[in-house]
Amino acid sequence: MPSSTTLKKIRPLQLVAVIFFTVSGGPYGLEPLISYAGQHAAILILLITPLLWDVPAIFTVLELNSMMPVTGGYYQWVKHALGKRWGFYEGWWTWMYTFIDLAIYPALFVIYASFFFPWLGTGHYPLALSLAFIWASALLNILGIVPVGRTALFLGVIVLIPFIILFTLAFYHHAVTTIPSQSLHKLPFWSVGMALYTVMWNCLGWDNVTTYAEEVEKPVKSYLYGTFIAFALVIVLYFLIILISQQSGIDPKALKEHFFPAVGVAIGGRWLGALVAMAGMASSFGIYAAVLLSVSRVPKVMADDDLLPKRLNRVHSKFGSPYVSIVLCSMVVSFMALWPLPELFIIDVTVYGAGLSLEYISLIKLRKVSPDAHRPFKITLGITGLCLMLVLPFTVYFVALVGACMSPDQSFWAAVFALFVLATAELAWQLILWKKPHHKKGRLY
């Protein structure tokens, strides 16, 4: 196995690209927002949600990562602050949510590929294409973090260029004139909840990029600048595409059904729609590869702590990648790739939010028990201020969950299933205790 000193590390610019793809990868998946929120609330929800949901998460991740820039990231923080049991919960929930999250991107890839070849969306073709997508990404990840970083940087350019052309043409042809007045008045509560879920899903994963911190050059500084650059890029891109979509004249239902390539066709013709669809394919692959990179490190460190089978901590002798974990993750996602997308969004965000809450609690706990610990980045708030800050994401999370439960479609059962997934962490923990009863006296805690 390569040592930590000889293993190639990812550079800051590549880290920006990996963060961008882990969290966003472009606005793909944001298309249902206008149909849920309407013309007079879409931009309002789009801009407010990241401030309430993402900013507290970003600050929390930056402070905890500056204290402990180690492989395993959030799992290690929670284990250090709250003990091994809650660390296991954190790792388990994140593992479960990532399986759900990863299942979304092969489906999106098929949707955008169908713009060129409609038959790809019929019969057995979606499954075959999804499996090829999953295992191509697995191979890339086995080759190591540097190839993933380089690929993310290349795909990032492919994703951004069509939108730059789209925005330029839209402003040149005066497709964008004024911003519609924004209000939540008369918007059904369930619509608010589903709109929140849509934006939340498109803005989650800031903690996922810390699981490979030891493989990053100058991790504290690189994560600080990389995170803020990626956040600014994501917000600007989302704002412009929703504004242009609203003023292009496209019907929200058509946008939800045919996705952003339809906006490209409306603004510049089929050639631009094709570029946007191609970027959607690149975005799906880039996001998948980046998320798989992050989650594959978590089973390894949990196996090191004897919480998962030891085989999961094996790393490739040449590339230094946790190849057994990568293969296992890819096998699970292969069985989940055909789940309906709307339900996956809800389950994904609900399970992710539970894990994120443990990171918030860990932040406050470490402030209390280790106030003088070295923190290159520190939120300029006391414990009371931190508690007030964290009320914001909890409120957004609660409103979205309740709104989804009130939705007239199948969202209620998706939310119920998400709660069941959360409960499996305790079942898995009890199974560990049953298999290793000598740990009950405290060694495992």
CATH of the domain at 294: 1.20.1740.10
Domain coverage including residue 260: 12-437
* pLDDT at residue 3 is higher than 50: no
User: Between helices 411-435 and 84-113, what is the axis angle to 10°?
Assistant: 140
In a domain, 442, yes or no: no
Tell me what pLDDT residue 1 has: 43
Q: What is the mean pLDDT of residues 314-318?
A: 75
Tell me what pLDDT residue 238 has: 92
Angstrom CA distances, 298 to 97, 140, 308, 322, 342, stand at 13, 18, 10, 10, 27
* pLDDT at residue 357 is higher than 50: yes
Q: What is the mean pLDDT of residues 324-350?
A: 79
In percent, how much of the chain has pLDDT > 90? 19
- 124-172 pLDDT, tens digit each: 888 888 889 999 888 888 887 778 777 877 887 888 889 889 988 888 7
In a domain, 305, yes or no: yes
Q: What is the mean pLDDT of residues 284-303?
A: 77
In a domain, 1, yes or no: no
Tell me what pLDDT residue 441 has: 45
Selected residue with higher pLDDT from 90 and 323: 90
* pLDDT at residue 5 is higher than 70: no
Tell me what pLDDT residue 176 has: 61
In a domain, 3, yes or no: no
Tell me what pLDDT residue 410 has: 62
In a domain, 135, yes or no: yes
Tell me what pLDDT residue 8 has: 65
In a domain, 362, yes or no: yes
Q: What is the mean pLDDT of residues 396-406?
A: 85
Its pTM stands at 0.81
Q: How far does CA 212 lie from the centroid of its chain? A: 15
Pick from 20-34, 239-253, 329-343, 393-407: least confident: 329-343
Q: What is the mean pLDDT of residues 397-408?
A: 82
The alpha-carbon radius of gyration of the chain (Å, integer) is 21
Pick from 177-186, 313-322, 434-443: least confident: 434-443
In a domain, 167, yes or no: yes
Selected residue with higher pLDDT from 50 and 337: 50
Q: Which pair of structure tokens corresponds to residue 73?
A: 């990231």
Pick from 198-202, 263-267, 327-331: least confident: 327-331
In a domain, 5, yes or no: no
From CA 238, how far away is CA 245, in angstroms rounded? 11
| Backbone phi and psi for residue 39, each to the nearest 5 degrees, phi listed first | -65, -30
For the chain, how many structural domains are there in total? 1
